[in-house]
Structure 1
Amino acid sequence: MRVCFVVSTFPRFTGDPEVPWLLETVRRLRAKGIDVEIFASSYEGMEPHLLEGIPVHRFRYFFRRWEYLTHNEGATNKVQRSSLYKLLALPYILLGALSMVRFCRGRKFDVFQAHWPFPHALFAWIGARRHGARLSLRFYGAELVLAEKLPFVRSFIRAFMKRADTVDAISTYTASRARQIYQRKVAVIPYGSHLEISVEAGAPRERSSKRREILFVGRLVERKGVEYLVRAMPLVRASGVEAHLTVAGNGHWEKEIREAIEEKGVGDLVTMAGRVSDEEKASLYKKCDVYVHPAIVDPRGDTEMLGVVLIEAMAYAKPLIASDVGGIPDVVKDGETGLLVPEKDPEKLAEAIVRVLTDPTLAEKLGKAGCEFLQDYFSWDRIADSLIAEFRGEDRPADAEGCDDDPGR
């Protein structure tokens, strides 16, 4: 079977921090005999290339120096922030469609899958029509947020949801938002972690001090809610718990986070580590005592649609604390694989952090249960098998039956 992934963003090189889980998805499918090629946008003039033997066709849509609508941050977020990005969207759509027509010559695919269906469903539909192939849509959520603000985006998505042979989403929450646009079956097929996890990853570490380590990893954007975690740190200190927070990542919201650190006087309790390599990130996961993800629903209505960093922390058998928003409850089962707290609530965050850090039995229980849940629901074999069954129009394997509903069922 030959499948074409139609995407906005795809890693430019091995180790690229952009959507590494998408590259891992392709690796896993190819290992199971599925021949996958990528149709993606260019970035600053980047030409078609091979990545680990995977053909990546890059379509050009503007002058080299201005080709940055995608990568480094979601295109839908950029479009909502700046008129310049809105201007880039039109040539992106027109030239993407024309490039797909040319791309289809001399190639044959059985399935075209549009990731982030606005506007990529159009490109995938053109390919599917020309090849008599199946059309599949895969929702990550950003395009659904945009659809709530722009009626023409909503109409676009509805039209292609009607035409698609299959539709899936990465979380229960994302699937429910897609069904609000057009009522049809939307399978829930998550992604997993691309990190190589060693067998020692979840082993207890030796402590050289009483200080406990709190970790956050992710792009520093408003919807991550990191400033609320910073504001919880004085409350953690006031409880008598000696704890330190490491924030790993970068982004345009860093200024606001640093202002919160200064406002609360917790510069000695918080380290801003910046963007870290996979090796450094693995070390941070291994050393931390609790992973905290204080996501919020931002003023644009955007939030965490799943949370790959939560999945990564699970692999290290770390207890999780996260906000009860978006797709996070697919990962964090309150009281089972972690603790859920209300968004934008430093007091509740602090209470949960203190509870986990002062109760080793609870921390171990949550970490172990999370690791077991990861090995079941977020295993790459299960994810790849579910996608392959979808591509073939088959019922998914028995171990994926929960994909259409609550994964914690």
Structure 2
Amino acid sequence: MKKLKILIFSSSFLPKAGGLQYELKWYLDTLDRWTEQALDYEFSFVYPGLEAAPYSQFKNIESFGLNFDEYSNGSRFATLSAILRLRRVIKSVRPDVVHCNAVLPDAGWVYLATLGLRNPPKLVVTSHGQDLVRLPEFNYGTRLNRSLNRMIKFVAKRVHKHVLPSEALGEFADEIHSDRDRVVVIPNGIPLRDEPDFEAEATGTEITSGLVANEGLRYLSLSSGRPIKNLQVLVDAFAKERDFLGESRLVLACDGPSAGHIRDKVNDLGITDQVDFIGEVRGSEKQEVFEAADIYCQVSHFENCPVSLLEAMKFKAAIIASDVGGVPELVTDEVNGLLVDQKNVESVRRALRRVYEDVTLRQSLVENGQERVDNYSMIQTVKRYTEVYRSVV
């Protein structure tokens, strides 16, 4: 069997923190180990710039940097320079397949970089939500821009396989595809058991999460704080229930400009003594925060296939999540989590109290979550993607 050459490209990578970046790093690390036995594959990785270089070194995967962060990000000169460097890498590696992690800019760059090549590679794209979803009420989605929407539709028609991490993205994919046969669903995965986890393997990390010792439960939420994450409703619900939750605390790991509005709301509600803002957490810090949490709350207006819910199951936190997007594909109501109406403060409030008062329910949600997350190991994700690579060739 011919050795298949796969080039993986992402214009966004660590140290930028987010579900996409963590998912891709876990995927590459697992792929790097798996490649030692899979002799019929050869992998390369193209990362954006110098900041990502320390996270892009592998034993069996050759890496190339675009030096994109050497310039003013977003400028036409920086983008053109990156595309030209990407073209040189593709001509040098001569991959059979290029796998990107967004229709725009990633697949768009690959399309431009391969124009005029005699044997251009097949194109596989994974959409993580931002490039497909349109939610104007929350100013969310690249396709809200008319010009970018047209570009996404143009590029998507030239994709050989379009991977969606959840069935929920299907309706948005239908808006840009004329051929649904090119769409395949592969859920996100996380490292389980002995699978490589760069966060767990980090050494010398000082734990500075700032968690306050308490006798009650910890309700945790990891979020950017943007309007689509809906932290206002979570804070409102916690404020209404504070007198019934004993010494419990709400732990908000959010950062960025939007976090200031949430702080103001907490102050206005008079619950600063029960809410901890711990900022962005990563590596050993993130694992410590998850392990210390009793309940994980995610009441967003939309989610694709959130790895944070999988991590919550892994680290034995009961889940409260909104019944939107791909969440019901991960969480079955009353089985491994409680699904709530994210627009209804009372729905969230009732769930907060139920998991506090009903110890049996809380333990059941945790145990069932542990069982459910076994279906989302990263090695399974790797095997599904390699089947896709082989199918397009």
TM-score > 0.5 by shorter chain: yes
| Aligned counterparts, 1:114-129, within 5 A | 114-125=100-111, 126-127=113-114, 129=117
Q: Which stretch of the first structure deviates more once superposed, 310-319 or 119-128?
A: 119-128
**Which string of whole-angstrom CA distances, capped at 9 and with x for unpartnered residues, describes residues 17-45 of structure 1?**
9812201111222322243322233367x
Q: 2:90 aligns with which of 89, 93, 104?
A: 104
Distance 1:56 1:306, change over 3 A: same
Distance 1:310 1:392, change over 3 A: same
Equivalent residue, structure 2, for 1:52? 58
Q: Are the counterparts in 2 of residues 3 and 112 from structure 1 also a CA contact under 8 Å?
A: yes
Pair 1:215 & 2:203 matched: no
Q: Are the counterparts in 1 of residues 225 and 258 from structure 2 also a CA contact under 8 Å?
A: yes
Q: 1:11 aligns with which of 8, 14, 21?
A: 14
Shift of 1:261: 0.7
Shift of 1:139: 0.7
Greater RCO, 1 or 2 (C-alpha within 8 Å, sep 6+): 2
TM-score (norm 1): 0.78
* Secondary structure, counterpart of 2:236 in structure 1: helix
Equivalent residue, structure 2, for 1:143? 131
Equivalent residue, structure 2, for 1:326? 325
**Which string of whole-angstrom CA distances, capped at 9 and with x for unpartnered residues, describes residues 322-354 of structure 1?**
112222222222222211111243322111011
Q: Are the counterparts in 2 of residues 215 and 292 from structure 1 also a CA contact under 8 Å?
A: yes
For 1:141, give the aligned amino acid.
G
Equivalent residue, structure 2, for 1:285? 290
**Which string of whole-angstrom CA distances, capped at 9 and with x for unpartnered residues, describes residues 67-126 of structure 1?**
3x5xxxxxxxxxxxxxxxxxx3x4454333322222223322121012111122133334
Distance 1:49 1:108 in 2: 24
Distance 1:17 1:104, change over 3 A: same
Distance 1:348 1:317, change over 3 A: same
TM-score (norm 2): 0.81
Equivalent residue, structure 2, for 1:38? 45
RMSD (Å), alpha carbons: 3.1
Equivalent residue, structure 1, for 2:384? 386
Distance 1:309 1:267 in 2: 25
* Secondary structure, counterpart of 2:224 in structure 1: coil
Distance 2:287 2:70 in 1: 38
Shift of 1:188: 1.3
Q: Unaligned stretches of 5+ in structure 1?
A: 70-87, 202-207, 297-302, 396-409
Pairs aligned (count): 357
For 1:382, give the aligned amino acid.
Q
For 1:255, give the aligned amino acid.
G
Shift of 1:293: 0.9
Distance 1:362 1:384, change over 3 A: same
Shift of 1:50: 5.1
| Aligned counterparts, 1:122-271, within 5 A | 122-125=108-111, 126-127=113-114, 129=117, 131-144=119-132, 145=134, 146=141, 148-183=143-178, 184-185=180-181, 186-194=183-191, 210-239=215-244, 241-271=246-276
Q: Are the counterparts in 2 of residues 109 and 131 from structure 1 also a CA contact under 8 Å?
A: no
Distance 1:211 1:384 in 2: 40
In percent, how many aligned pairs have the same letter? 24
**Which string of whole-angstrom CA distances, capped at 9 and with x for unpartnered residues, describes residues 274-318 of structure 1?**
12242222222222221111212xxxxxx4222211110010232
Q: Which stretch of the first structure deviates more once superposed, 283-292 or 118-127?
A: 118-127
Distance 2:224 2:191 in 1: 17
Q: Are the counterparts in 2 of residues 11 and 18 from structure 1 also a CA contact under 8 Å?
A: no
For 2:266, give the aligned amino acid.
I
Distance 1:136 1:367, change over 3 A: same
For 2:377, give the aligned amino acid.
S
Q: Which stretch of the first structure deviates more once superposed, 236-245 or 134-143?
A: 236-245
Distance 2:19 2:159 in 1: 30
Distance 1:316 1:274 in 2: 20
* Secondary structure, counterpart of 1:159 in structure 2: helix
